[in-house]
A and B are shown apart, each in its own frame.
Chain A
Amino acid sequence: MKRLIRLYPARWRRRYGAELDRLLDDMSPMPARARLSVALDLVRGAWDAHLTHSPSRAMVGRAVLVALVVWVGLTAEIVRSNVIFPSAQDNDGLSVLLSYLAVFAALTLAGALAAGLSRDRRTIALAGAVAGALIGALTIISFVVIDNVFLDIVGHQQVKIDGLARSHTDSMRAYVNSGLAVGLVTLTGFLTAAGAGLAVLGGAARGLRRRHPA
């Protein structure tokens, strides 16, 4: 039964853990039915403590904010390079590289911001993973909207024409959308993992700066 105390966040346990431990001693021995009811109550209590005593919600909130800012920037760049200044050539390599670097920097920043609220590495990684997943999913959604609305412009890109010719698809819209469906899974998965890792790095960098201020 006492093992359930571990479900509570560390900060909560530091304040109430010993008391709760003693209380469970006082309540023992308990009949099996009461044990189940107490166990369920402790699980609910731990869930509540995570929502109210843990800074993880605020950390994820900051990460979501970073992700939304990045998504707006990426969407603006997608519109610029695909609709406003479209090119039939596949010459957006630099733009894509810079976009990825910006995303990686943002994910690292999300970790550094999260570390301002807690040093718990798992929560920092969670914040980064949420930011990465959001950036990946929202960016693909932007592509879905832009590619479908401006298909007559986007469909003139040589890389897409060549891709359609190699595929077994007979329409540019179906080809673009099937590629985006794959992209939704791969980009979101990749950025989720990258987000977790980079956020931990960002959090560690903030921790180092705290220990060795300039």
Chain B
Amino acid sequence: MESLGRFAEPSVLILTSLAGGPKHGYALMQDIEELTGAKIGPGTLYAALGRLEQRALIETLPPENRRLPYRITTAGASALRSYLEHAQRVTTTGLTRLAAFA
């Protein structure tokens, strides 16, 4: 994920959204907004989708009415899991230390 540079965060959000099932661009934007409360712009979305597709972390499904659904691949699921597990360890440690601090 680190190699995605400034697109790492939107990429994690896209993979997280796709972990819930295949989605096209607009459905992804809506799901991410619902999930995080933050809007992801179309330029950022497609820059991240391009990188994820290039790394075979996501793949496309047959188009539906000019909308191309994306789904997470096994490699994508594995990359997301390892990222989230790492983030969870950091979160748990951080919260434990904060509890001791307070």
Contact = CB atoms under 8 A, between A and B. Distances in A.
B62 interface: no
Interface in A4-45: 12, 15-16, 18-24, 26-27, 37-38, 40-45
A48 interface: yes
A53 interface: yes
A49 B26 CA distance: 20
Interface residues of A, number: 25
B46 A16 contact: yes
A20 B46 CA distance: 8
A158 interface: no
Interface string B18-55: 00000011100100000000010111111101110000
Query: In the complex, which range does the number of interface residues on chain B fall in?
Result: 10 to 19
B47 A49 contact: yes
Q: Would you call the interface of chain A mostly helix, strand, loop, or mixed?
A: helix
B75 interface: no
A15 B24 CA distance: 14
Given A22-B66, A23-B25, A23-B26, A16 B50 contact: yes
Interface of B: 24-26, 29, 39, 41-47, 49-51, 65-68
30 contacts: A12-B50, A19-B25, A19-B46, A19-B67, A19-B68, A20-B25, A20-B46, A22-B26, A22-B66, A22-B67, A23-B24, A23-B25, A23-B29, A23-B42, A23-B45, A26-B25, A27-B26, A27-B29, A37-B41, A38-B41, A38-B42, A40-B41, A41-B41, A41-B43, A42-B41, A42-B42, A44-B44, A45-B42, A49-B50, A52-B47
